[in-house]
Amino acid sequence: MARWCLLLLGVLLLGGTSWSQKLRPPQDTPPEWSRPYPPFRIAGNLYYVGTYDLACYLITTTKGNILINTGLPGSVPIIQKNIKTLGFQWKDLKILLTTQAHFDHVGAMAAIKKLTGAQLMADAKDAAVLADGGSSDYAFGGKGALFTPVMADKRLQDGDTIILGETRLTMLHHPGHTQGSCSYLLTTRDEERTYRVLIANMPTIVTEKKFSAVPAYPEIAQDYAYTLGALKKLSFDLWVASHASQFGLQKKHPPFSKYNPLAFADKKGYEAMVDGLSRAYQKKLEQDQ
């Protein structure tokens, strides 16, 4: 993550006078961000269609499908192929969502929205960053767009429900990483049982500045504290996250493994991740003392 932050900061030193000229996506991204990974069924109607590390999720319903996150701009063919491999249709995408408005999770959002005509719903606090391609991001903004700007068709608030067919997702406002970072809760059922699934956006710290030195986001310290507290209180059966590395995807589901939802039940791993982020947050606070 530190490497990525430096890449973004370097990119933002470049400028321009129009959207096409200002767009400066990093070229030297980690290879695991664009490396393909075999798609698979996580649980019920929830599927993994992302790359080796950038997690993208497909939720299928009787009224069309939902895609959460899009990865890098070049990920469109990968996601399209993964959806087809699973036996679903690209044209059936009806709703687009994201866990955060950063280049590595919404890089292909504008392209997929245009290709499919799907409706983009986003946390209200990230809508402006999506609309300007990341140029107003508190950590990386100021010198032009990092991804193609995309307008949210609907702005979501904490606790809002996204409904498509028989599926209901609850959006959880989990700010800090971005001002509109969010997680999702859904209930899904397979042939044997029902699962409550958390798609978590883990609040890693991306700014190298002191929290008190981030004027574009004066509530940043309070937002991190809120999100960490909220994550500790959640109840779920299975969990995944915005990055595959955050929940150990490759160990829990090696390529072409059999369907095994309980591989993602790992509550100890979840608690360890949140505890580690809490310690990082407390260390960051000490910088302001």
What does the pLDDT look like over 19-63, one tens digit per residue? 344 556 566 789 999 999 999 999 999 999 999 999 999 999 999
Distance (Å, rounded) from C-alpha 126 to C-alpha 133?
Answer: 11
Q: Are 169 and 154 in contact (CB under 8 A)?
A: no
Distance (Å, rounded) from C-alpha 19 to C-alpha 16?
Answer: 8
Distance (Å, rounded) from C-alpha 178 to C-alpha 33?
Answer: 19
pLDDT for residue 83: 98
Among 14-28, 63-77, 188-202, 234-248, where is mean pLDDT lowest? 14-28
In order of 122, 205, 265, the CA distances from 196 in angstroms are 22, 27, 10
Paired tokens of 116:
């499919």
Paired tokens of 56:
């993208």
Domain 2-286: homologous superfamily in CATH: Ribonuclease Z/Hydroxyacylglutathione hydrolase-like (3.60.15.10)
pLDDT for residue 289: 75
List pLDDT tens digits, range 175-189: 999 999 999 999 999
Task: Indicate the burial class of 8 (C-beta count within 10 angstroms; 0-12, 13-18, 19 or more).
Answer: buried
pTM, 2 dp: 0.91
What residue segments make up the domains of the chain, in order of their start? 2-286
Q: Which amino acid is at 99?
A: T
Q: Are 201 and 174 in contact (CB under 8 A)?
A: yes
Distance (Å, rounded) from C-alpha 70 to C-alpha 116?
Answer: 13
Instruction: Give the pLDDT band of residue 9 (cuts 50, 70, 90).
Output: very low
pLDDT for residue 13: 30
- Output the CA angle 109-113-119, nearest 5 degrees: 110
